[in-house]
Structure 1
Amino acid sequence: MSGSLFSLQGYIRTGEVDAAGKIGKMRWVGNVPEATLELATSNTDKNESFSGKRLQIGRLATGTTAALNLTLDYWSAANLALGFQATVADIAASTVTGEVFPSGLVAGDQVRLDHPFASALVLTDSATTPATVPPANYDLVGHGKNIVEVKNVGSLQQPFKAAYSHEAAENIVLFSAPGKVTFLQFDGINTETEEPVIIDLWRVRFDPVSSLGLINQEYGNLALSAAVLYDTTRAADAALGGFGRMLQKKAAG
């Protein structure tokens, strides 16, 4: 009997693709508990009309499609960029002075700072000679440290103004890279035989993630889907193919 049983596991890696189609540096997306490649053809059938039995006499292939479904376990800026058709534009650490708050604040109001991950916050009022707001009159709250909760406005003149430092941030700009195409490789192993299996997909375009759980009782994940697009340049090479290829070691002998 030829062949073997199989059970696959492995690494999923993506790579940048430049305008000329050249594959750049690769990146492992982390643990992927589920990955499925779906291939399909669409057809138009033709039945004869002369025998009285309407028998099928032809099938015309009208299209070929390939799709990919992945579940990503790792939360990272690069993975989120795949899921939200995004670019990552880092914001450098810096300091802020004179950031003006809304007027008419009362105790219990909350104000959002322009930058998260703030520290060394100091508030001053708008008097001709600005007075420093006592630190006991406000608090920096929340996980992201960019919400100021007012506890007491006293007789200080509003609007208040904020000065603070903020840390660097990964800024994931949603839907800023629609239509971006990446290379994807499955670097796998058949755990039944311990033999490697490689699948190269030349042009993969991810759809935006359809749902992201913002409150999780268990581990969260990113469920992604993508279209595998036809590469007209590589299609001219019979060893590469238009959609991709699968590589495994040739048996000895």
Structure 2
Amino acid sequence: MAKEYISLQGKFYLSEIANGVAGAMRHIGNVPEFELEITTEQVEHQESTSGQRTTDFVLTKTTGVNFSGQLEEVDKENLKYILSGMQTDVTSTAVTDHSLGTVKAGEEIKLNGYGLTAVTFKAGSTDIEATKYELDSIFGTVIFKEAIAGPVTAAYTTGAVSHTTIASDFNKEYELFFKGINTATGDSMAVRLWRTKKSPETKFPLIHEELGQYEISGQSLSDSEKGLDVTLGLYGHVVTIPKAV
């Protein structure tokens, strides 16, 4: 008799749910680790007739399905998902008369934008020579090499960038779909979870020696309507698809 082993590889997809309907599937890139955990809360009953106080019945009060994994690809949508944030495209803006107050030599000052162009500084109505400051236009910072008499103002044009907020959107639900291949048998395996909600708890490393990996976790929520169909299940199901002969 052939032995049935499992060694899975595959692709993960998320479909954002709006008004109870799952939208288009989005491939979330390479996922080196992902696992499901089934949890229960049980009450054990001990009989009192044998003198051994044995457990003769177990009542399952609640069930749950949790997930955890790692993402490696961090595009706009994955970044928003990892950070439980909201993503906004910020357009280019012309800024005039941005007051920096009195500046001191060697202090680094953050301007209000990134990818700056057409940057000028004035002390009162007098232009400040470029030799008197060091500008990082990409990150929008400036260091004045000497003290400047009088309040300083800046003018510049900001670049178009993408902002992703941190820990600001906890309510989104996604359907999760896995297209897997069992490399031990050649069979295909699909996993479908009707409703998943990611936990906001995560770690987001900012320094890497190798490629970054970002932890995600959360839980699968039940769908009572689908649970009425034994082939669908309350939380979802696993489908084994035999390889073509």
Give me the TM-score of the superposition, normalised by structure 2.
0.92
**Percentage of pairs with the same residue:** 28
Residues 188 and 242, structure 2, Cα contact 8 Å, conserved in 1: no
Q: Which residue of 2 aligns with 1:152?
A: 146
Quick one: distance in 2 between partners of 1:243 and 1:64? 10
Deviations 1:179-226 (A, max 9, x none): 321111111111123332111111111112432221222222101111
Residue matched to 1:240 = 232
Query: Using the alignment, how far apart are the partners of 2:212 and 2:83 within structure 1?
Result: 16
* Secondary structure in 2 matching 1:170: strand
- Distance between the aligned counterparts of 1:219 and 1:209, measured in 2? 21
For 2:239 and 2:105, the matched residues in 1 are separated by 66
1:78 aligns with 2:77: yes
- Matched to 2:44, the amino acid is D
Divergent runs of 4+, >4 A: 250-253
Residue of structure 2 in register with 1:5 after alignment: 5
Q: What residue number does 1:132 align with?
A: 127
Do the aligned residues in 1 keep the contact of 2:102 with 2:148 (CA within 8 Å)?
no
C-alpha distance in 1 between matches for 2:70 and 2:208: 16
Structure 1: distance between partners of 2:244 and 2:75: 42
After alignment, is 2-11 or 107-116 more displaced?
Answer: 2-11
Equivalent residues, number: 245
Local SS of the residue matching 2:78: helix
Which structure 2 residue ranges, 5 or more long, are not aligned?
A: none
- Structure 1 residues 199 and 218, CA gap change in structure 2 (3 angstroms): same
Q: How big is the shift at 1:138? A: 1.4
CA distance in 2, matches of 1:200, 1:99: 53
User: Mapping of 1:151-190 within 5 angstroms?
Assistant: 151-155=145-149, 157-158=150-151, 160-190=152-182
Native 8 Å contact 1:82 1:208 kept in 2 = no
* TM-score when normalising by structure 1: 0.89
Cα distance in 1 for partners of 2:148, 2:67 equals 60
Label 1:154 to 1:55 Cα distance change in 2 as closer, same or farther (>3 A): closer
Provide the rounded CA distance (Å) in 1 between the counterparts of 2:37 and 2:3: 22
1:90 aligns with 2:84: no
Residues 83, 209 of structure 1: 8 Å contact kept:
no
Partner of 1:44: 43
Q: Pick from 90, 106, 109: which aligns with 2:107?
A: 109
* Letter aligned with residue 109 of structure 1: E
Partner of 1:217: 209
Report the AA paired with residue 102 of structure 2.
G
Q: Which amino acid aligns with 1:66?
A: V
Shift of 1:41: 2.0
Question: CA separation of 1:139/1:233 partners in 2, compared to 1, >3 Å: closer, same or farther?
Answer: farther
The one of 100, 109, 119 aligned to 2:117: 119
What is the rounded CA distance, in whole Å, between the counterparts of 1:138 and 1:92 in structure 2? 27
Tell me if structure 2 keeps the 8 A contact 1:231–1:242.
yes
Distance 1:46 1:134, change over 3 A: same
Query: Letter of the aligned partner of 1:29 in structure 2?
Result: I
